[in-house]
Amino acid sequence: MSIIRTEELCKNFGDLQVLQNVNLTVNSGEVVVIIGPSGAGKSTLLRSLNTLETITSGKIFIEDNLFCRAEQGVIKEEMSKEDKKAALLDMGMVFQRFNLFPNMTVKENVMAGPVHVKKTPKEEAEKRALELLEKVGLADKADAYPSRLSGGQQQRVAIARALAMQPKIMLFDEPTSALDPELVGEVLNVMKDLAAQGMTMLCVTHEMGFAREVADKVVFMADGQILEEGTPEEIFNHPKTAKAQQFLSSVL
Tell me whether residue 97 or residue 212 sits nearer to another protein (CB atom).
97
CB 61 within 8 A of CB 27: no
Give yes or no for residue 161 binding another protein (CB under 8 A).
yes
Tell me whether residue 165 or residue 191 sits nearer to another protein (CB atom).
165
Q: Quick one: the chain helix, strand, coil %, rounded to 5?
A: 40, 30, 30
Smallest distance, another protein to C-beta of residue 144, A: 10
| Cα–Cα dist 69/212, whole Å | 33
Among 66, 79, 88, 178, binds another protein (CB under 8 A): 88
Q: How many CB atoms lie under 10 A from the CB of residue 120?
A: 18
Helix axes 151-163, 181-196, angle to 10 degrees: 20
Give yes or no for residue 92 binding another protein (CB under 8 A).
yes
Among 6, 44, 50, 200, binds another protein (CB under 8 A): 50
Q: How many CB atoms lie under 10 A from the CB of residue 114?
A: 21
Smallest distance, another protein to C-beta of residue 136, A: 16
Tell me whether residue 88 or residue 130 sits nearer to another protein (CB atom).
88
Tell me whether residue 169 or residue 235 sits nearer to another protein (CB atom).
169
CA distances from 111 to 88, 90, 99, 168 (A): 18, 16, 15, 18
7-45 residues labelled b (16+ CB within 10 A) or e (exposed): eebbbbeeeebbbbebebbbeeebbbbbbbbeebbbbbb
Smallest distance, another protein to C-beta of residue 94, A: 9
Task: Mark residues 99-138: x for contact with another protein by CB under 8 A, - for none.
Answer: xxxxxx-------xx--xxx--------------------
Give yes or no for residue 95 binding another protein (CB under 8 A).
yes
Instruction: Give the three-class secondary structure for 187.
Output: helix
Tell me whether residue 161 or residue 217 sits nearer to another protein (CB atom).
161
In the complex, the residues that contact another protein under the rule CB under 8 A are 50-52, 85, 88-89, 91-93, 95, 97, 99-104, 112-113, 116-118, 145-147, 158, 161-162, 164-165
